[in-house]
Each structure stands twice: as C-alpha cells, then as structure tokens.
Structure 1
Amino acid sequence: MLRIALTGPESTGKTTLSRQLAQHYATAWAPEYAREYLEKNGPSYTLADLELIARGQVAAEEAAAAQANRVVFCDTDLLVIQVWAEHAFGQCPEWVKQRIQQQHYDLVLLLGIDIPWEADPLREHPNHRQHFYSIYHTELSSQMSNFAEISGSPTERLAQACYFVDAMLADAIHAVPPAVVP
C-alpha cells in the first residue's frame, strides 16, 4: 500500500486535496487530528498537547490505512507537528522526532502558498506562510524524502497530485519518478 502525506503551511488546501484524492482513488484518508483535538479542547495548546496531537495523527493514519484501497492519503504529517512545536516552544517532543525518522511515506506532497489565505479560528500565521514553506522544503530535502511541490488552482493541484500518484501506482515496485525529487 502506498502512503502519501500532504504537508505545508496553514491554509494551503491540504484537507481539500486529501479529500479529493481519496474520492478520486476510491480509498481512505486520514484527516488532520490537530483540528479535531483543538476544536474539542480549545485553541490554546501546550507542548504536551502537541505530543498528544502527534499520537492522535499516527492513530488516524493507521485507522485510514486499515480501510484503504492501494493508497492512503494523510492530511498533514508529523513534520507539521515538529515545525509547529519548534516555532511555538523552541523544541519538539523527542518522541515526535523519533517517529518522523521511523515513519515512511512513499510520497509527500508539499502544498504551495499560492492560494488565498482563509481565516479560521485555529489558524495562527497568515503572514508567515513563505517562511514556513521554506522550512518544510528544507526539512524534506534534508530527509531525502520523495516529495513533489504542488501549486496552482485547486483543479491544477488535483491534476498535479494525480499525475504523481498515477505514476507510483503504475510502477510495480513503487519507485518514485525522477521528476518528483527536486
């Protein structure tokens, strides 16, 4: 089974694209657990909350994978938790960093900031999306992750993502096409 994560700054369309991809491929997707957690517990959070959110994200991914058909899409990943924790608290729980090293995604889709910001009570940084995008790009590059940058209109984003997923599904050994790695 292919595991594909969508990552990037706030308000870049991760949830929308995850949902669209799951529908297109008739499979399951793991929603962003942080949203569920913060809607239930309020928008204030501590470093300990972030570790609970990370564990909830992993559980959501495992539950989605158990129901998936050939591919599972993960709306966000633990890299988001790491970046979030380091920005807000100057550190990241060790468990999260260790889990990032253990967790494998066949492909990570890094969503660009070229769509308008949408206000939301749980979003915090409308003027820092380029800063965070650069951090995600640097982290994915340093991890030597297979990742593709996705940008453009919602229709273009879906088409780009499908191109990469289709290529992976067509490849019997799940090799990422050379064009994916920048």
Structure 2
Amino acid sequence: MSALRIALLGAESTGKSALARALHETLPSLTGLRVARVDEYLREWCEREGRTPRADEQRAIIEEQERRADALAASHELLIADTTALMPAIYSEYLFADSSLAAWAHQAHRRYHLSLLMGTDLPWVADGMRDGPHAQAPVDRLLRRWLREAGHAFVVVQGQGDSRLQQALDAITPLLAGIQHAQGPARASDGLFSRLMDRQSRLPGSTRWTCELCDDPGCEHALKTAPPAPGGNRPAS
C-alpha cells in the first residue's frame, strides 16, 4: 500500500523541523509502522549555496523535495514531510510575484493525506538565512489562503514542546488508526487506539466547535473565542 503522507507546513521559524523530528522519534514505537522523515531541501540548498535561491532556481528545488519524498514513501508506511512543494512555491509568489509554480505545487501536495499547519505563536529565532519576523505573518496568511482555496485538508497546531507534539498526534491518530485496522490486530497499538478513544470522548459530535479556516476544534481561532452556549450560534473565526 502507499505510504500515509503527513506534511508539516508553516512560515519561517514556526517549529516545522522540531515537530518533524519529534514525530519521527515518537511514531515508530507508538504505531509499529515503518516511519520516514524527509527534511526541507530548501534549507539544505541555502546552507550549501550560502544564499537564498533566485526565482529561476525555485522549480528545481521543489522537484527535488518531492523526488526525495517519493523515494522514502516507496519503502515506508508513514512519511513525515518537513514541508512540501507548496512552501517554495509560496515563497516564489511572496518574494518574486511569480505564481507559475502554484499549479504544479498544488498537484504534488494532493498526494499528502493531511497537513499540519504551524501556528505563529513561537518566539522568532534568527539563523542568518531567514528573511526576518516581518515576513512571517504575510507568508502565513498566503499559506492559509492557498490551503483553503485548493481544498487541502489541514489542522493548525500550536504551543511549545510536548503540547505541540500532542496536538499533532491527536490530529493524525484517526488516519493512523485506519491503517492499523486494515493491517489487522497483530499490528495494533494499544497506545494509539487509547489516544483515539480519548480524543473522541473529548470531542463529542454534539458539542464539537468547527473552525471556518480548518478542521481542528482546538485551533488558535477557537482559543480566541468563547464556546457557544447550548443552542446558540457558533463563534466566528
């Protein structure tokens, strides 16, 4: 069967790489699945070249990102992707007003079953390559618009350390449980199914709040609003 692909997306300095590493360390023992992680090729490229790419260099970068993802997905059951073709394509639009990569990037991204969108609540960390904190908000807005308009499934995760990891695990647990159910009880993980049952009990359908911007009832938009009173209207995002 094809690997389940989980994408981590977000503006600069929003914790994508840290969460990708944490998921890659946690999920094998939790699920019993063969788990791979594909790192961000754009960062590797920048560190190797000592600069950010020009507009004409972006296409080769996103193609290499997806080539590496495909290679790992062919030999694993679960792939954690520290960004996908969407991010370089978004930077092309934001930095160079070049939207020519968007259609290709969206098509490549449709192979991912779920995107975890990093919230912008972490402190900014400068590394000599990043554009600066002023770019974080506009890139985040553009990314959210692209995800919504293209209909990509995504869940927003936020918080620091274990809190962010637990939110990510909650988001992908239903997909992982589906894989393990198909593979039979020999591969089932008590920890995984306990998490799923606990998640469902905490989010009963009759009281579940739904955000207009994503499918996560615990996203940052929900945290900024009070839950509706019984029989009342849903709060606006």
TM over 0.5: yes
Amino acid across the alignment from 1:11: S
Checking the alignment, whether the CA contact within 8 Å between 1:29 and 1:75 is kept in structure 2 is yes
Q: Is the 8 A contact 1:82 1:97 kept in 2?
A: no
Partner of 2:6: 4
CA distance in 2, matches of 1:44, 1:108: 25
Letter in 1 for 2:175: M
Note the 1:47-62 alignment, pairs <5 A: 47-62=55-70
Q: Does 1:152 pair with 2:159? A: yes
Distance, in Å, in 2 between the alignment partners of 1:123 and 1:169 is 34
- 1:109 matched to 2:141? The reply is no
In the alignment, what sits opposite 1:98? Answer: 104
The sequence identity of aligned pairs, in percent, is 30
Distance in 2 separating the partners of 1:9 and 1:100: 17
Structure 2 stretches of 5 or more lacking a match?
29-34, 183-199, 217-237
The one-letter code of the counterpart of 2:107 is Q
| Selected match of 1:31 from 31, 36, 39 | 39
Distance (Å, rounded) in 2 between the aligned partners of 1:164 and 1:14: 15
Q: Deviations over 1:80-139 (max 9, x none)?
A: 111100111110344x53242244210000001100011111111312312221111111
Q: Deviations over 1:55-101 (max 9, x none)?
A: 11112211221342x3101001111111100111110344x532422
* Aligned partner of residue 3 in structure 1, secondary structure: strand
Letter in 1 for 2:160: S
User: What residue number does 1:181 align with?
Assistant: 215
Q: Partner letter of residue 16 of structure 1?
A: A
Task: Count residues with an aligned counterpart.
Answer: 178
Structure 1: 4+ residue segments shifted above 4 A = 177-180
SS of 2:88 mapped into structure 1: helix
RMSD of equivalent CA atoms:
2.2
For CA contacts below 8 A with separation 6 or more, give which structure has more relative contact order.
1
If the length of structure 2 is used for normalisation, what is the TM-score?
0.69
TM-score (norm 1): 0.88
Q: Confirm or deny: 8 A CA contact 2:9 2:16 kept in the other structure.
A: yes
Separation in 2 of the partners of 1:130 and 1:17? 20
Deviations 1:134-167 (A, max 9, x none): 1111111111111000011121110011111211
Q: Distance in 2 between matches of 1:130 and 1:99?
A: 21
Q: Which has the larger radius of gyration?
A: 2
C-alpha distance in structure 1 between counterparts of 2:25 and 2:126, whole Å:
26
